[in-house]
């Protein structure tokens, strides 16, 4: 008998993981969402797993081979990474270096002999009839893994149709470098389309476009070339992205710098007369692109990443220029200050920044300001992030914190910032003389025909689905739902490390919604 075993999708699986006692896949999926599991198998040569439903056709099933990725250093307790395991052993999963199954290669043929890890995901569309579906994952002619999935009547709305917004930054240069194609070529745009589809699959609602490129003649700025931004926006719109987001156009030189400088002119401050004229030229041309493509009503604008207390007033000046030439376009940015009133429409404080100034952000939110949050490499330590040496629950439960704090969106900077020579064996990418925590720079991998997902990608996707369900449950049964969230997490540093705890809470969440749907309806309660 072939040796295989089943694991949840909420815990990490490693190449040296011992087999579990589970021999059948039991899943729960809301309509518009998914349910998934991991499998560890010891396979004979030539095994080509495939899935079949019994009886009537069931929901779509996606199969992947899990590939190991090397974590070269541990997340530091204070900043970036460390080789001092004793300083971080209380919150990381393993001592680096180690390998973990993170990358998902679409399964399309036979597997080599030996140990293999698989990922099976049942994708329940909103049209899927609620009920229990049974099927088999055929490993060989004689060996089959029984699979049962209960599809709930609880429904996850499509991205952009619910409560939660999501934005992941996109690296247009690395797309060309990692895939060996010329930036702006037809091959490049075919790959980009695959990346947009991946972002939408991860429930991103906003696709970040590249900024316009400055054009100089004899050293004088004459205009901007929006060719790349135009084509990227057209493809994203064709793929039904709910929102497009104009790329960042300015930045400060140092953290305590009070001025912003255009990306194309690092000597001219935006608050100078010359800086204003440059911004005027930029925004006028960009507005024409937006109007020519009919993007009004679905366009947002990022201006300058992470405004903070030293330059928040300057940021508001820049925002005023944007509002003059792009009226009606909401401004969204990651922020490190509370003093941006009138200069921003979608506030995105970092998770620890939000908790530090929570009272002020709550007061803003109470008066109708839209409030998201973001995570990145800072701060390090046990705080929820998507680092590959933290429990996988951290990548998923962080979305439950969004529901607990009644926030409405999530941002992360690193969708595909492939930094370094070998991200497969060195997931801690170099950054300013140090290393970023493992996986912080990217949540997909460069496959031969487009992006490959990661387990962190799947955890974020599942977490956003649950956030949508939690938002609805908080309206239907607020006290019960909030108590349920606190079984999983109570702050960005206090969360369960056990996937079973999270999945049990998820099952209770779905039962809350099923009960609400079957009970008497009192007006527009949802």
Q: What is the DSSP string of 346-370?
A: EEEEBHHHHHHTHHHHHHHHHTT-E
Strand partners, 331: 301
Angle formed by the axes of helices 186-201 and 227-238, nearest 10°: 50
Place of tokens 């944007």: 322
Q: Quick check: 520 pLDDT over 60?
A: no
Q: Cα 475 vs. chain centroid, distance in angstroms? A: 25
Q: Quick check: 525 pLDDT over 70?
A: no
Lowest mean pLDDT among 37-51, 237-251, 328-342, 348-362: 37-51
pLDDT, tens digit (0-9, with 9 covering 90-100), for 292-325: 999 999 999 999 999 999 999 999 999 999 999 9
Confidence tier at 493 by pLDDT (50, 70, 90):
very high
- Distances 331 to 181, 409, 474 between C-alpha atoms, Å: 33, 14, 28
Strand partners, 63: 120
The percent of residues in the chain predicted with pLDDT above 90, rounded, is 91
**pTM of the prediction?**
0.96
Confidence tier at 1 by pLDDT (50, 70, 90):
low
Residue 521: per-residue pLDDT: 41
Q: Cα 325 vs. chain centroid, distance in angstroms? A: 31
Residue 519: per-residue pLDDT: 67
- What does DSSP assign to residue 36? E
> What CA–CA distance (Å, rounded) separates 295 from 289?
9
Handedness of CA 326, 332, 335, 341 (dihedral sign): positive
- Distances 54 to 29, 126, 132, 465 between C-alpha atoms, Å: 18, 21, 11, 27
pLDDT, tens digit (0-9, with 9 covering 90-100), for 62-90: 999 999 999 999 999 998 999 999 999 99
Region for 393 from its dihedrals, namely left if φ exceeds 0, alpha if ψ lies in -120 to 50, beta otherwise: alpha
Lowest mean pLDDT among 43-47, 321-325, 507-511: 43-47
Dihedral angle, C-alpha 181, 185, 191, 195, nearest 10 °? 110
- What does DSSP assign to residue 87? G
Do residues 226 and 282 make contact, with C-beta atoms less than 8 angstroms apart? Answer: no
What is the average pLDDT score of the chain? 95
| Sequential DSSP letters for 242-282 | SEEEEPP-EE-SSTT----EETT-TTS-TTSHHHHHHHHHH
- List the end-to-end C-alpha distance of the chain, in Å, as a whole number: 51
Consecutive H or E run containing 301? strand 299-301
Structure tokens at 190: 């075919």
Q: Quick check: 327 pLDDT over 60?
A: yes
> What CA–CA distance (Å, rounded) separates 357 from 254?
23
In this structure, the number of other CB atoms found within 10 A of the CB of residue 334 comes to 25
Structure tokens at 145: 């893994």
Among residues 259, 232, 243, 365, which one has the least CA distance to residue 302? 243
User: Between β-strands 370-371 and 346-349, what pairing exists: parallel, antiparallel or unpaired?
Assistant: parallel
pLDDT, tens digit (0-9, with 9 covering 90-100), for 436-463: 999 999 999 999 999 999 999 999 999 9
Do residues 13 and 38 make contact, with C-beta atoms less than 8 angstroms apart? Answer: yes
> What CA–CA distance (Å, rounded) separates 106 from 52?
17
> What CA–CA distance (Å, rounded) separates 262 from 293?
25
Structure tokens at 475: 């309206």
Do residues 65 and 428 make contact, with C-beta atoms less than 8 angstroms apart? Answer: no
> What CA–CA distance (Å, rounded) separates 494 from 474?
21
For residue 24, whether the previous peptide bond is cis, meaning omega lies within 30 degrees of 0, is no
Among residues 229, 235, 250, which one has the least CA distance to residue 199? 235
Do residues 95 and 1 make contact, with C-beta atoms less than 8 angstroms apart? Answer: no
> What CA–CA distance (Å, rounded) separates 145 from 139?
7
> What CA–CA distance (Å, rounded) separates 293 from 363?
38
């Amino acid at each position: 008998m072939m040796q295989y075993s089943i694991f949840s999708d909420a815990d990490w699986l490693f190449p040296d993981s011992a087999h579990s006692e589970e021999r059948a896949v039991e899943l729960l999926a809301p309509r518009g969402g998914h349910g998934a599991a991991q499998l560890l198998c010891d396979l004979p040569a030539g095994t080509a797993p495939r899935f079949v439903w019994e009886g009537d056709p069931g929901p779509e099933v996606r199969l992947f081979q899990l590939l190991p990725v090397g974590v070269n250093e541990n997340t530091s307790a204070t900043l970036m990474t460390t080789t001092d395991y004793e300083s971080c052993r209380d919150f990381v999963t393993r001592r680096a270096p180690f390998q973990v199954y993170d990358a998902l290669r679409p399964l399309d043929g036979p597997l080599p002999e030996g140990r293999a890890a698989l990922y099976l995901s049942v994708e329940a569309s909103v049209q899927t009839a609620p009920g229990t579906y049974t099927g088999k994952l055929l490993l060989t002619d004689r060996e089959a893994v029984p699979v049962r999935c209960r599809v709930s009547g609880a429904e996850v709305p499509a991205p952009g149709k619910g409560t939660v917004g999501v934005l992941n930054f996109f690296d247009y240069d690395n797309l060309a470098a990692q895939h060996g194609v010329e930036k702006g070529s037809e091959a490049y745009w075919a790959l980009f389309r695959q990346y947009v589809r991946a972002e939408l699959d991860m429930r991103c609602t906003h696709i970040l476009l590249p900024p316009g490129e400055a054009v100089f003649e004899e050293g004088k700025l004459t205009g901007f070339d929006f060719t790349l931004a135009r084509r990227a926006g057209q493809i994203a719109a064709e793929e039904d992205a709910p929102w497009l987001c104009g790329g960042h156009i300015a930045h400060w030189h140092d953290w305590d710098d009070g001025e912003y400088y255009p990306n194309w002119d690092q000597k001219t401050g935006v608050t100078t007369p010359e800086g204003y004229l440059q911004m005027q030229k930029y925004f006028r041309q960009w507005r024409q692109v937006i109007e020519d493509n009919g993007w009004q009503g679905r366009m947002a604008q990022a201006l300058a990443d992470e405004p903070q207390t030293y330059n928040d007033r300057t940021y508001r000046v820049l925002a005023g220029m944007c509002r003059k030439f792009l009226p009606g376009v909401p401004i969204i940015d990651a922020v490190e200050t509370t003093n941006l009133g009138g200069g921003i429409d979608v506030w995105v404080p970092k998770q620890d920044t939000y908790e530090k100034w929570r009272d002020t952000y709550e007061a803003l939110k109470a008066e109708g300001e839209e409030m998201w949050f973001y995570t990145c490499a800072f701060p390090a330590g046990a705080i929820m992030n998507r680092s590959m040496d933290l429990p996988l629950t951290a990548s998923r439960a962080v979305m439950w914190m969004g529901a607990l704090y009644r926030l409405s969106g999530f941002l992360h900077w690193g969708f595909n910032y492939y930094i370094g020579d070998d991200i497969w064996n060195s997931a801690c990418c170099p950054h300013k003389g140090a290393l970023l925590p493992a996986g912080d720079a990217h949540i997909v991998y460069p496959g031969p025909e487009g992006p490959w997902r990661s387990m962190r990608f799947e955890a974020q996707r599942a977490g956003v689905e649950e956030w949508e369900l939690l938002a609805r449950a908080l309206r239907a049964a607020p006290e019960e739902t909030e108590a349920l969230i606190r079984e999983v997490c109570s702050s960005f540093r206090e969360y369960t490390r056990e996937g079973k705890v999270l999945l049990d809470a998820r099952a209770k969440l779905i039962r809350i919604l099923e009960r609400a749907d079957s009970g008497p309806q009192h007006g527009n309660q949802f």
